[in-house]
């Protein structure tokens, strides 16, 4: 596609997700309504709606109940007013060489109208042919219709073994990591909800697809052991199957060390006893009333480390052991006596060394 000046009517045809970052647009603008943007959008896009949710509903009602002509007239006036607001606001300081990529739902009137105004100013604006629907199709193709191509290594270990913290330390040491809990904004257990809630399934998939295209498939990619769902976000089947058959590096640590780590990692729950009590109550289907009451008592008295240790001993560890009994043994076990900052740094160094050797084995083998 030629990019000498701007010819109105030309649109960028996306054939792969890697095109978007590779083309180096200054900004990606999603002109859909805020609710559409909130459900999912191209990672990194900003929302400059040309019709907000109420206006979009208003135009749609006029289109159906009155006439398409009047709907277009009302819609055009609203688009012009909103475009003026964006030009006088967030776009006011954009330079003459600014180069944005604009999209709406299907690459139709909303993005076309806004891009036309930007082009008349002289900015080198481009549209996404087919809009968000084209982008979404590429995400689905990448995650659900293509086999997973990465060289996965799974970081395994019982609850409280600091796997997420170790992933961050491995990334600092130059190891490729895939933080599924970070993408899903959830710590992966019944107690794992975070403030702000989780992204939609579509938004999670967008973030996951964007992360995967940034990786070098020839290099090992380390991922934390997870179930097929992280909170409410489902993993694509190809990734989940690859995780089940990938070599595992297992972390082990004493219950006391894991409990101390959990109290630090779940500080938001420790400082909100009412919320912690509600989460404990959700364990009622799996445990006797007396056990739930005992855990509630530990929470109410502030005995959080004892609570974490007992939850692991009576709930989490037995379930992990049952699951692992059906799996192949780990490639190697890494024992840590402490999971404090120094202990985690030492453990990350050991893991990074083993991963480097594994990378060499895979490359030479």
In a domain, 223, yes or no: yes
Q: Are residues 316 and 281 in the same domain?
A: yes
For 294-318, give one letter per residue: b (16+ CB within 10 A) or e: bbbebbeeeebbebbbbbbeebbbe
Q: What is the CATH number of the domain that holds 295?
A: 3.40.50
Q: What is the CATH number of the domain that holds 133?
A: 3.40.250.10
For residues 228 and 246, give the distance between their C-alpha atoms in angstroms, rounded to a whole number. 15
Q: Are residues 274 and 194 in the same domain?
A: yes
| Cβ burial, residue 183 (10 Å; 0-12/13-18/19+) | buried
Catalytic annotation, pick one of 91, 104, 207, 263: 104
Supply the pLDDT for residue 1. Answer: 35
Q: Sorting pLDDT into bands at 50, 70 and 90, what band is 2? A: very low
For residues 108 and 93, give the distance between their C-alpha atoms in angstroms, rounded to a whole number. 27
Per residue in 301-339, pLDDT (tens digit) is 999 999 999 999 999 999 988 887 777 889 999 999 999
pTM to 2 decimal places: 0.93
Domain stop point among 141, 173, 188: 141
Catalytic annotation present for 104: yes
Q: Sorting pLDDT into bands at 50, 70 and 90, what band is 150? A: confident
Number of domains, the chain: 2
Domain stop point among 88, 123, 141: 141
Domain stop point among 107, 141, 175: 141
Per residue in 73-123, pLDDT (tens digit) is 999 999 999 999 999 999 999 999 999 999 999 988 899 999 999 999 999
Q: Are residues 134 and 158 in the same domain?
A: no
Q: Are residues 135 and 171 in the same domain?
A: no
Which residue segment(s) compose the domain that 223 sits in? 149-364
In a domain, 3, yes or no: no
pLDDT of residue 51 exceeding 90: yes
Supply the pLDDT for residue 294. Answer: 97
Q: Are residues 215 and 358 in the same domain?
A: yes
Q: Are residues 271 and 167 in the same domain?
A: yes
In a domain, 231, yes or no: yes
């Amino acid at each position: 596609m030629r990019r000498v000046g701007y010819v109105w009517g030309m649109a960028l045809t996306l054939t792969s997700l890697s095109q978007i970052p590779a083309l180096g647009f200054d900004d990606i603008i999603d002109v859909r309504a805020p609710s559409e943007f909130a459900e999912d959008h191209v990672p990194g896009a900003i929302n400059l709606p040309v019709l907000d949710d109420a206006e979009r509903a208003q135009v749609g009602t006029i289109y159906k109940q009155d006439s398409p002509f009047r709907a277009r007239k009302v819609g055009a006036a609203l688009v012009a007013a909103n475009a003026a607001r964006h030009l006088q606001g967030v776009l006011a300081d954009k330079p003459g060489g600014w180069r944005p990529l604009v999209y709406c739902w299907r690459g139709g009137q909303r993005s076309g109208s806004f891009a036309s105004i930007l082009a008349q100013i002289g900015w080198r604006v481009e549209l996404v042919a087919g809009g968000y629907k084209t982008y979404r199709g590429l995400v689905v193709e990448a995650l659900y219709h293509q086999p997973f191509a990465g060289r996965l290594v799974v970081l395994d270990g019982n609850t409280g073994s600091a796997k997420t913290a170790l992933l961050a330390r491995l990334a600092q040491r130059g190891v490729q990591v895939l933080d599924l809990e970070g993408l899903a904004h959830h710590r992966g257990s019944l107690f794992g909800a975070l403030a702000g809630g989780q992204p939609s399934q579509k938004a999670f998939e967008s973030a996951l697809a964007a992360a995967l295209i940034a990786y070098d498939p020839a290099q090992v990619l380390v991922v934390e052991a997870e179930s097929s769902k992280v909170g409410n976000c489902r993993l694509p089947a190809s990734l989940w199957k690859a995780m089940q058959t990938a070599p595992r590096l297992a972390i082990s640590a004493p219950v006391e060390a894991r409990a101390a780590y959990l109290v630090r990692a779940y500080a938001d729950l420790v400082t909100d006893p009412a919320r912690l009590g509600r989460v404990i109550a959700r364990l009622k289907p799996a445990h006797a009333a007396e056990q739930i009451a005992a855990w509630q008592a530990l929470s109410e008295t502030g005995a959080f480390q004892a609570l974490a240790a007992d939850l692991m001993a009576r709930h989490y560890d037995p379930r992990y052991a049952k699951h692992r009994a059906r799996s192949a043994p780990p490639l190697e076990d890494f024992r840590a006596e402490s999971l404090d900052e120094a202990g985690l740094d030492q453990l990350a160094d050991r893991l990074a060394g083993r991963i480097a050797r594994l990378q060499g084995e895979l490359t030479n083998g």
